[in-house]
Amino acid sequence: MINVIGLGYIGLPTALMMASHGVEVIGTDYNKELVATLNEGKTTFKEKGLDELFKEAVVKGINFTTEYQTTDTYIISVPTPYDKFSKKVDPSYVIAAVKDVMKVCPKGATVVIESTVSPGTIDKYIRPIIKDINLVHAPERIIPGNMVYELLNNNRTIGADSREIGEKVKSYYASFCQGEIVVTDIRTAEMTKVVENTFRAVNIAFANELARICRHDNMDVYEIIRICNMHPRVNILQPGPGVGGHCISVDPWFLVGDYPQLAKVIDESMKTNDGQPSFVLERIYEIMKENGISDTGRVGLYGITYKENVDDIRESPTLQMLDIQERHLASPLKTFDPFFTDKAIVPNQILDFDQFLNEVDMVVIMVKHDHIKQRWDKLRGKVIIDCHNVCPIGERVYHI
């Protein structure tokens, strides 16, 4: 039996996937409400294919509880936030989970840590608190919005102290994973995960910097990137209103925090990405002036989540923008998001799309949800700032 600890964005789909492929799984989370919701037969976040997977796993006998189980294999997928001041990883949830596992697990059990950690974290914080168990690091790679498909098809990395344990854990993942599973050591596994997300962060920062250069001299960044990407060895990502999510906007900071004298490109890239919400705010100001709009109450942000077609708001560029506004004592811009409707979290949010459009003259496309792509007609006549170059309307559309 596998006890999956932490039933969030990664732990839940992983537990469901293993259970639906015939592995005996018990999911544990310390959040009683979350466990109660799962036991009522409901999933806790929206994700393509997750509800179907959930039903299958329930039929195959998955159980959810707040209790840690006594078994021979554990998968830990609890959050690893970063300390905003030191930029270092905060391993406290992983440490707490491993300590709790140690209270109930038998000698020789295997503890797989899926949570993202910076290189060396397991040696520094986890090894000193364990005894007579096998440690493994198997970082996840799935992308919100396409998690179920990617769980099945992505290649994976497993870091272990011995080949034998690595191969044993590989066989659990091979029960569902059709990608290649590489077995390596723990430190390499830790580093690869952070490096993958850093690669993407640096590439997005490059695109954002190009957008600023092109804006300065009135060049079309999208056309330039499109043409450059026709070169066989160039693949530039897209500029945007900022980088959100719990991965790409967080993990690269671990390297900056641990190697401040060495991680210069990464440091600058992260600062560039973090500067995008301010850059968009300046664009809003410029374009308001150009169009004679003086009332910020007539400007609306479309999209609150950190990216398209998900309900996740962690580190969302829209929330970063609202936060900057608040710190300048400005009243928040109006917002609308079909995926996120919790008014307690986002001030000035309008829940009805038509009402939102009635109340604004300018719409800033912060997130390119499919919802807006099916409703461009409704935006005719508005001043539009399209942060993603997706709007097909010809007139009064500006880019960042």
Helix, coil or strand: residue 144: coil
Chosen residue from 44, 63, 197, 389 binding ligand SAJ by CB under 6 A: 197
Question: Can you list the alpha helix ranges (DSSP code H) found in the chain?
Answer: 11-20, 32-39, 50-59, 92-104, 121, 147-153, 163-173, 186-216, 221-228, 251-258, 264-290, 317-327, 353-359, 370-373
Q: CB of 204: closest distance to ligand SAJ in angstroms?
A: 4
Stretch 292-311: interaction string toward ligand SAJ, x if CB under 6 A: --------------xx----
Phi and psi at residue 169, to the nearest 5° = -70, -35
Binding mask 53-92 for ligand SAJ (x = CB under 6 A): ----------------------------------------
CB of 248 to ligand SAJ, least distance (A): 4
Residue 271 a catalytic site member: no
When binding is defined by CB under 6 A, the residue of 89, 243, 263, 357 that contacts ligand SAJ is 243
Stretch that binds ligand SAJ, among 11-19, 117-125, 244-252, 280-288 (CB under 6 A): 244-252
Which run of H or of E encompasses 136?
strand 134-137
CB of 400 to ligand SAJ, least distance (A): 11
Taking each helix axis as running N to C, give the angle between helix 251-258 and helix 186-216, from 0 to 180 degrees, rounded to the nearest 10. Answer: 100
Give dist(CA 370, CA 100) in Å, integer. Answer: 42
Least distance between ligand SAJ and beta carbon 143 (Å): 4
Structure tokens at 299: 């400007």
User: What one-character DSSP code corresponds to residue 49?
Assistant: T
* Adjacency order of strands within the sheet including 334-336: 334-336, 299-302, 362-365, 383-386, 397-399
46 binds ligand SAJ (CB under 6 A): no
Catalytic-labelled residue, pool 193, 334, 368, 382: 193
**What's the min distance (Å) between Cβ of 139 and ligand SAJ?**
8
Tell me: does residue 17 bind ligand SAJ (CB under 6 A).
Answer: no
Q: Does 204 bind ligand SAJ (CB under 6 A)?
A: yes
**Backbone phi and psi for residue 225, each to the nearest 5 degrees, phi listed first:** -65, -40
Answer yes or no whether residue 324 interacts with ligand SAJ by CB under 6 A.
no
* Region from 120-128, 157-165, 167-175, 232-240 binding ligand SAJ, contact rule CB under 6 A: 232-240
| Interface with ligand SAJ, residue 212, by CB under 6 A | no
Q: From the list 56, 90, 161, 196, which residue makes contact with ligand SAJ (rule: CB under 6 A)?
A: 196
Report DSSP letters for 32-46, one per residue.
HHHHHHHHTT--SS-
Nearest alpha-carbon partner for 114 in 177, 71, 152, 169 = 169
287 contacts ligand SAJ (rule: CB under 6 A)? no
Binding flag, residue 200, ligand SAJ (CB under 6 A)? yes
Q: How far is the CB of 13 from ligand SAJ (least distance, A)?
A: 11
Q: Say if residue 377 is exposed, middle or buried (CB neighbours under 10 Å; 0-12, 13-18, 19+).
A: exposed
**C-alpha gyration radius of the chain:** 23
User: Using the rule CB under 6 A, is 102 a contact of ligand SAJ?
Assistant: no
How far is the C-alpha of 237 from the C-alpha of 233, rounded, in Å? 13
Q: Give the count of residues interacting with ligand SAJ (CB under 6 A).
A: 20
**237 is a contact residue toward ligand SAJ (CB under 6 A):** yes
Binding to ligand SAJ by residue 130, rule CB under 6 A? no
Closest to ligand SAJ by CB, 36 vs 228, is 228
DSSP state of 388: T
Contact of 48 with 145, CB cutoff 8 Å? yes
CB of residue 211 vs ligand SAJ: minimum separation in angstroms? 10
Q: In the complex, which residues of this chain contact ligand SAJ (CB under 6 A)?
A: 116, 140-144, 196-197, 200, 204, 237-238, 240, 243-245, 247-248, 306-307
- Residues noted as catalytic: 193, 247
